[in-house]
């Protein structure tokens, strides 16, 4: 298991820097990521190479490559009264709460998220259960939210809280800051040009395109910035990590 801490992120930023500065405009505009780049003179070049790979983009596909249907897996409907009531009003009352290590913790309605700059990407989703699907996702880049809420320097991980439970436990997932600021990491509210279907995580789901399917939290209600995963769930960083020892870092 590789946990990328902020210290490693800082040393890694210099490698990433060349490709970031050429390609990733949104990332370059990110105040928090600028801090990271500014600290990059402490670079360790071995760590750098590995982290540089992690900032590369996942493959993107064409409309012609879309799967006829994007299949659903895991929870297909959270099934609570609150969720049903929210769905009945097209999730107009849905709130995404940013809590924990932010200088300006805040919440966003779905409409507020949709009013921010959006990214659309066609990517392949790979589930450990042995299937893949290509879908077109539209949503707000996570790095925009991290800057608006002003992620604090002590933050090392972002925990995604979800509206559903599996076997009585809330589903959750977590990523480090390299994935948090990655330009293809988005909170998606549309799939294949339509509002996200309930079975695929309506109204909001994480897309973290360099990782396996279980990292892509559906029904996201909150993002908590933390210095450690120890106090969350059973401390392994995600539902499947806690119950079945899945890898925390599921890079593809």
Ligand X SMILES: Nc1nc2c(c(=O)[nH]1)N[C@H]1C(S)=C(S)[C@@H](COP(=O)(O)O)O[C@H]1N2
Chain residues binding ligand X by CB under 6 A are 71-75, 127, 162, 164, 166, 171, 199-201, 213-214, 216-219
Smallest distance, Mo ion to C-beta of residue 152, A: 32
> Which one of Mo ion, ligand X, none interacts with residue 6, CB within 5 to 8 A by kind?
none
Indicate the pairing of strand 220-226 with strand 119-127.
unpaired
Q: At what angle do helices 45-54 and 6-23 cross, to 10 degrees?
A: 60
Nearer to Mo ion among residue 75 and residue 136 (C-beta): 75
CB 159 within 8 A of CB 174: yes
Smallest distance, Mo ion to C-beta of residue 128, A: 5
- DSSP letters, 122-167, are EEEEEETTTEEEEEEEEEEEHHHHHHHTTB-TT--EEEEEEEEEET
Nearer to ligand X among residue 20 and residue 217 (C-beta): 217
Stretch 185-224: interaction string toward Mo ion, x if CB under 5 A: ----------------------------xx----------
Smallest distance, ligand X to C-beta of residue 179, A: 15
Residues 6+ apart with CB under 8 A from 112: none
> Which one of ligand X, Mo ion, none interacts with residue 217, CB within 5 to 8 A by kind?
ligand X
> Which one of Mo ion, ligand X, none interacts with residue 118, CB within 5 to 8 A by kind?
none
Q: How many CA atoms lie within 13 A of 187 on its CB side?
A: 31
For residue 215, CA distances in Å to 29, 36, 42 come to: 26, 24, 31
> Which one of Mo ion, ligand X, none interacts with residue 75, CB within 5 to 8 A by kind?
ligand X
Smallest distance, ligand X to C-beta of residue 178, A: 20
Nearer to ligand X among residue 27 and residue 162 (C-beta): 162
The verdict on 141 binding Mo ion (CB under 5 A) reads no
> Which one of ligand X, Mo ion, none interacts with residue 99, CB within 5 to 8 A by kind?
none
Smallest distance, Mo ion to C-beta of residue 49, A: 29
For residue 180, CA distances in Å to 117, 120, 151, 193 come to: 16, 17, 11, 24
The tokens of 236 are what?
A: 């392994």
Q: How many CA atoms lie within 13 A of 139 on its CB side?
A: 29
Residues lying near Mo ion in the complex (CB under 5 A) = 127, 213-214
């Amino acid at each position: 298991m590789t946990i990328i801490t902020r210290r490693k992120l800082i040393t890694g930023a210099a490698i990433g820097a060349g490709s970031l500065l050429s390609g990733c405009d949104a990332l370059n505009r990110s105040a928090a990521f600028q801090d990271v780049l500014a600290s990059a003179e402490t670079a360790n070049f071995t760590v750098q190479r590995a982290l540089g790979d992690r900032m590369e983009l996942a493959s993107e596909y064409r409309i012609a490559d879309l799967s006829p249907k994007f299949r659903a897996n895991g929870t297909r409907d959270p099934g609570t009264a609150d969720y049903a009531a929210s769905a009945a009003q097209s999730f107009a009352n849905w709130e995404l709460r940013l809590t924990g290590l932010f200088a300006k913790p805040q919440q966003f309605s779905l409409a507020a998220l949709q009013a921010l700059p959006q990214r659309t990407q066609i990517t392949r989703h790979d589930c450990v259960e042995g299937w893949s699907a290509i879908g077109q996702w539209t949503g707000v880049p996570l790095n925009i939210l991290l800057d608006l809420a002003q992620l604090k320097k002590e933050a090392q991980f972002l925990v995604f809280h979800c509206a559903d439970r599996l076997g009585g436990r809330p589903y959750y997932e977590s990523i480090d800051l390299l994935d948090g600021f990655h330009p293809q990491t988005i909170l998606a509210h549309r799939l294949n040009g339509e509002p996200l279907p309930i079975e695929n995580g309506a109204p909001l789901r994480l897309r973290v395109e360099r990782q396996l399917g279980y990292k892509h939290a559906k029904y996201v209600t909150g993002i908590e910035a933390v210095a450690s995963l120890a106090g969350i769930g059973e401390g392994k960083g995600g539902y499947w990590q806690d119950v079945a020892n899945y890898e925390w870092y599921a890079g593809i």
